[in-house]
Structure 1
Amino acid sequence: MSSAVDLLVKDAELLVVDGGREIPGGWVAVTGGRVTAVGAGGSEPDAATTISATGRLVTPGLINTHHHIYQNLTRSYAPAVNGTLFDWLTTLYPLWAGLDEEAAYVSAYVGMAELLMGGCTTSSDHLYVHPRPYLVDAEIRAARDIGFRFHATRGSMTRSVEDGGLPPRSVTQSTDEVLADSERLIKAHHDPEPGALIRVALAPCSPFSVTKDVMTATAELAERYDVRLHTHLAEDRDEDTYCLETYGCRPVEYFEDTGWMSDRTWVAHCIYPNDDELRRLAAAGIGVAHCPSSNMLIGGGTARVKEMRELGLPVGIGCDGSASTDHASLWMETRGALLLGRYRGGPGAMTARDALDIATRGSARCLGRADELGHLRPGACADLVVWDLHEVALAGAVSDPVEAWLRCGPARAWTTVVGGRVLVERGEPVLAGLGDVLRDHGRVARRMQRGV
């Protein structure tokens, strides 16, 4: 080849193009934010910028399908760390009532920087606490300032503790407020075009935090504007009890009754559906965000990932809220998926390639973007990661770079590229404003946790 391209990543020990193709000594060429070609050493084109991946694994960028980024303002908050899910939520809701636009912006900026360092190039975020307006707008502003690929999900809660729910009134909204702001955000920020950096989805928090009319009206609004739907589902045994007592049915049946059984929907956790419910979810094309670290830390069980994938459900990876997992590393979550899968189903239940496929192509399916994300075939968005493992950690791992990537470690992103732009270089975020934002983040976190 002779034509120049914008960016060339070359000499990878192994280039993972997708779940079915790997190229030893591979290269990937990028022009205009898209992958234009892949190949083996010696045939690469000239490029304006060249990145050497010698001795390193190159993969598609990992995709985070479930997060609550604002919660990095209350990481490891001591009074909440050892409770059940419901205990944890009721302890933290009063702190999150202090969320404002500045807090939403700095938490999103820091959270996205952390995600990039863990090899994540696309993330959704589920912001369902709305004590003040324009919080999702602040997150989107942070994503645009960074150049991060971001799916903002407009969460909502309308059932306060006075209405039989868990949160205080201060973080809930009325049905009219939720629907009006959901429509406003779609019109203001959702980009349906191929290659979009910003998209909006609609995401009532859970069956026990909104009324039935909100669930139903939100599904109708998503259909009207052709956006995706997201919520927590079947996360905890207490949810079964709550739905039976409040709605007279189990969570999945309630989910069906409110119009959510659609292939535009993906849900977080999905730990406790029974066999028949799991088959119904699969038939509808529901995606599942599997959150390994959160499941283990809260001790609430974990999704039946192997069975879900065998049934055809799209399964992706989510790192969940920073206050429940205290980190935002998709590498750690992908490794957690490998370990939990084998712990649950035996050594044949999950391989490193399975886990990588979940974190890339599976996650892309959950977000409705399997055509252009989660792989590095020509035409895909140029979202990729050059991985770094210390030579001491890799000593002896000479037979399989993908298995070594998750079994050895810890791994970090040496280079992270989003849409053809280098956002992590030599393991560090290329973000000029990060230092100032970190200082602001510390001040806001202290205010939120200590009232200072």
Structure 2
Amino acid sequence: MRTLITGGAVATVSGEEYANGYVVVDNDRIADVGEGVYTGEFDERVDASGCLVTPGLINTHHHLYQWATRGMAADHTLFQWLVALYPVWGRLDAEITHAAATAGLARLALTGCTTVADHHYVFPRDGGDQVAALASARQRIGVRLHVVRGSMDRGESDGGLPPDNLVETTEDALSGTEAAIGRFHDDSAEAHLQIAVGPCSPFSVTERLMSGAAELARGKGVRLHTHLAETLDEEQQCLAEVGCTPAEYADKLGWLAEDVWLAHTVHLAPDAIRRFGATGTGSAHCATSNGRLGTGIAPVRDLLDAGVAVGLGVDGAASSESGGLGEELHQALLQARQRGGPRGLTTREALWMGTMGGARCLGRADDLGSIEPGKLADLAVWDLTGLNYAGITDPVAALVLGTTPPVRRLFVGGKAVVEDAALREADESEIASELTAASARLREDR
């Protein structure tokens, strides 16, 4: 199947932009991109008049299960919020997780996202097959999914935040992660489902689990992910318990490296930023969630200047209730400029973070993140017609500075997942009903 997308602007992210461009998709790969009229053969033509074509957005940090607990603990700090919500999450089962994940993935697709990294670290003892629930949700929506098989082995009785009945033993956490890799991980270039290793955070896992997770991931050839340096509370706890900052602690345990990307990284000293750049460690910037929880503004400009791969993350919908990725382009730019002035981040840097920056974080820059011949055809066609964008002559500025545009088409591997701002195969009203019922059941059990 050869598809021609033509008539609109094209931002390749790899450097070229075309005011009146085209993209040719051959099955699941990009075959050609250029300016003007395409004269070759094709089977299907997609009219992108008035649109901007970009790579599909890549979400580098999420907690899909949290869609079932949106709006709770609305005025809490991070630690207060976790203490309030952990007991609720402890009642998750596979059905609730599937409903929440399906809703979350649907929302992401409708906001231009083609690849999602989901950090799932809650495994209640009677919660069923949580990873399978996520995998089946991915199949319903059609996007790519990187399940970060998370874990916690440090409960309240050991000085951690989660209740004891919500943590695993170190051995169970590692064996469960290894089993998920063996069962679900696809290491092919075209993979729709991959597994990464992700102990939750330095304040909810032991040093033994952090070290064991790194050893397991490297033995299996998969990537590593965790939360790091999100709040000053975390830094103070880390200094009190191990005598160093979270970034120094991660470095000590071998967690600053090219196969690692870390969520939030708000509170980093200049030396830590340089160390991130020197080691090739990536960062998932979650602007809306950081603002919602009041954790601070990440030093994105400094990270980019140090050569760090910075991607964007929505984070869990219980701390980023909108759950959309397109708007994170806008939020990231605003926060960077609040911190560093109008030169803190450009519109094209924001788009790079949402695409190629994310691909680098997930280790998929060879196949995702830009519009280039040979890469996978993960593409977003943004509709810039209508009142919201009238008079904005720069389409990238319209995308990043304006409201998130409707998605006229979203392709994942050349297959349309969204068409005319609606899911192509999944039923949005059915998904909403399932989520409403699942969320009500979770809350009624309190």
What TM-score bracket applies, with the shorter chain setting the length? over 0.9
Deviation at 1:60, TM superposition (A): 0.5
In the alignment, is residue 425 of structure 1 matched against residue 419 of structure 2? yes
**RMSD of Structure 2 on Structure 1 (CA):** 1.3
Decide whether the 8 Å contact of 1:29 with 1:45 is kept in 2: no
Unaligned runs of 5+ in 2: none
Which AA in structure 1 matches 2:26?
T
In the alignment, what sits opposite 2:445?
A: 451
Shift in alpha-carbon separation, 1:390–1:11, aligned structure 2, 3 A: closer
Secondary structure class of the residue paired with 2:308: coil
- Cα distance in 2 for partners of 1:160, 1:228 equals 25
Counterpart in the other structure of 1:238: 233
Amino acid at match of 1:174: T
> Is 335-344 or 211-220 further displaced after alignment?
335-344
Question: Is 1:411 matched up with 2:405?
Answer: yes
1:267–1:289 contact (8 Å) kept in structure 2: yes
User: CA–CA distance in 1 between the matches of 2:14 and 2:33?
Assistant: 15
Superposed CA offset, 1:154-193 (max 9, x none): 0111111111100112221111111111111111111111
Deviation string 1:60-92 (CA, Å, 9 cap, x unpaired) is 001000000110101112xx1101100001000
The 10-residue stretch of structure 1 (401-410 or 322-331) with the greater mean CA deviation from structure 2: 401-410
What is the aligned partner in structure 2 of residue 292 from structure 1? Answer: 287
Q: 1:45/1:334 Cα in 2 relative to 1: closer, same or farther (>3 Å)? A: same
The match for 1:316 is 311
User: Where do 1:131-170 residues align within 5 Å?
Assistant: 131=124, 132-170=127-165
Match for residue 277 of structure 1 among 248, 272, 279 = 272
Counterpart secondary structure, 2:407: strand
Segments of 5+ residues of structure 1 without an aligned counterpart are none
1:306 corresponds, among 301, 308, 326, to: 301
In structure 2, C-alpha distance between the alignment counterparts of 1:414 and 1:55, rounded to whole Å: 10
Q: Kindly report which structure 2 residues correspond to 1:18-417, keeping only aligned pairs within 5 A, or say none.
A: 18-77=13-72, 80-131=73-124, 132-398=127-393, 400-417=394-411
Q: Which amino acid aligns with 2:400?
A: L
How big is the shift at 1:434? 4.1
Cα deviation, residue 133, structure 1: 4.2
Q: How far has the Cα of 1:389 moved from its partner?
A: 3.4
- TM-score, normalised to structure 1, is 0.96
| Partner deviation per Cα, 1:262-294 (whole Å, 9 max, x = no partner) | 110000000111111221122111100001101
Residue 322 of structure 1 aligns to a residue whose secondary structure is coil
How far does residue 45 in structure 1 lie from its aligned partner after superposition? Answer: 2.9
Alignment partner of 2:25: what SS? strand
AA matched with 1:164:
G
Q: Deviations over 1:359-399 (max 9, x none)?
A: 1011110001111111010011100011123511122213x
Report if aligned partners of 2:14, 2:371 keep a CA contact under 8 Å in 1.
no
Give TM-score scaled by structure 2 length: 0.97
Q: Spell out, residue by residue over 1:177-222, the C-alpha distance to the aligned partner (whole angstroms, 9 max, x if none).
A: 1111111111111111111111100000000000110000000001
Deviation at 1:303, TM superposition (A): 1.1
> 2 CA distance for matches of 1:156 and 1:418?
30
8 Å Cα contact 1:27-1:44 kept in structure 2: no
Percent of residue pairs bearing the same amino acid type? 42
Letter in 1 for 2:331: G
**2:2 corresponds to 1:9:** no
Q: Is the 8 A contact 1:389 1:410 kept in 2?
A: no
Query: Secondary structure of 1:224's partner?
Result: helix
> Is the Cα–Cα contact under 8 Å of residues 18 and 377 in structure 1 kept in the other structure?
no
2:3 is paired with a residue of what secondary structure? strand
What CA distance in whole angstroms lies between the structure 1 residues aligned with 2:426 and 2:13? Answer: 32
Partners of 2:87 and 2:123 in 1: how far apart?
12
Post-superposition offset of 1:245: 1.9
425, 430, 441: which one aligns with 2:435: 441
Asked if the contact 1:239/1:251 (under 8 Å) is kept, the reply is yes
Report the residue type matching 1:384 in the other structure.
Answer: L
Displacement, 1:41?
2.6
Q: Kindly state the Cα deviation for residue 44 of structure 1 after the two structures are TM-superposed.
A: 4.2
Structure 1 CA distance for aligned equivalents of residues 244 and 442 of structure 2? 38
Distance in 2, Cα, partners of 1:357 & 1:63: 10
Instruction: Give 1:136 deviation, angstroms.
Output: 1.4
**Given the superposition, is the C-alpha separation of residues 44 and 324 from structure 1 closer, same or farther in structure 2, using an over 3 Å criterion?**
farther
Deviations 1:23-78 (A, max 9, x none): 1211111112110111223224332222100011110001000000110101112x
Greater shift in the superposed pair: 424-433 or 235-244: 424-433
SS at match of 1:57: strand
Provide the rounded CA distance (Å) in 1 between the counterparts of 2:315 and 2:39: 39
> Secondary structure of 1:65's partner?
strand
User: How far apart are 1:6 and its partner, in Å?
Assistant: 2.4
Q: Is the CA contact (8 Å cut-off) linking 1:389 and 1:409 kept in structure 2?
A: no
SS at match of 1:155: strand
